[in-house]
Amino acid sequence: MKTSYKTIASLLFAASAAPALASWSVNVGAISVLPQDSSSHLNVVETVAGLPAKSTEVAVDNNTQLGITVDYQLTKNWTIELIAATPFKHDVQVKGSAIDGLPLGSTKHLPPTLLAQYHFDLGDSRFDPFVGLGLNYTNFFQEDVSGELVSTLQALNVTDANDRVELKLKDSWGLAMQAGVNVKLADQWSAHLMLSKMDIDTEGRVLVNGTSIQSVDVTIDPYVWMIGARYSF
């Protein structure tokens, strides 16, 4: 994911400026986010809990939702695609040390992604393989702290029952790569299969009464796959 944002933006602009065929397709099906996560260490938690330094990280679980992607065919080979879905929900927990698996909380997110796709001509109208490159924006919202984290902080005398504990995650911009295939089933219907790799990085913070007591940089970088039905207009 080292390609510059300027290069991706130029690719999207060049594709959108091409003569249009006015052909639309909608893909609907199951879409899953599988984080390939890593993070900085929970240094404050390690100190307060008496854990070894650099022994803890953050883990984010998988989630599947309803995916809806819209394609606009510009030329025989070039298409613009927008990936959307119902909100994903992920549980966040501690990974490593004596508190491995401690739930930290949960978050929802929407990752709208715009890609320029190149479709290969194999000489067989039934199979339409493609690759794509584009930009992803991930909006995190409805972050909730787990009851286990609240009780753990109280047990460590970091907070008491009157304190307000919150979890906040920073929105993310990143690149996205994609490969997939459409398999024609009837005149306007196809099967749609897609795999993407998205660059999603965020900063997570635990706040007590509005003051951050622990921040952690989290690299999510998920694989996103989708299988569904495709209808072309």
For the cut 60, the answer to whether the pLDDT of residue 20 exceeds it is no
- Average pLDDT, integer, range 14-25: 61
pLDDT at 3: 46
Q: How confident is the model at residue 17 (pLDDT cuts 50, 70, 90)?
A: low
pLDDT at 153: 94
List, for residues 68-93, the tens digit of each pLDDT value.
999 999 999 999 999 999 999 999 99
Q: How confident is the model at residue 43 (pLDDT cuts 50, 70, 90)?
A: very high
The more confidently predicted of residues 26 and 123 is: 26
Smallest CA-to-CA distance from 136 within 103, 171, 163 is with 171
pLDDT at 124: 81
Non-local (6+) Cβ contacts of 102 within 8 A are: 93, 94, 148, 149, 152
pTM: 0.86
List, for residues 143-153, the tens digit of each pLDDT value.
999 999 999 99
Q: What is the CATH number of the domain that holds 72?
A: 2.40.160.20
Structural domain count, the chain: 1
Q: What percent of the chain has pLDDT over 70?
A: 91
pLDDT at 21: 53
- Average pLDDT, integer, range 52-62: 96
What separation in angstroms does the CA of 11 have from each of 18, 128, 178?
11, 21, 15
pLDDT at 1: 46
List, for residues 137-195, the tens digit of each pLDDT value.
999 999 999 999 999 999 999 999 999 999 999 999 999 999 999 999 998 999 999 99
List, for residues 83-123, the tens digit of each pLDDT value.
999 999 999 999 999 999 999 999 999 999 999 999 999 88
Which residue range(s) make up the domain with 208?
Answer: 5-232
pLDDT at 125: 81
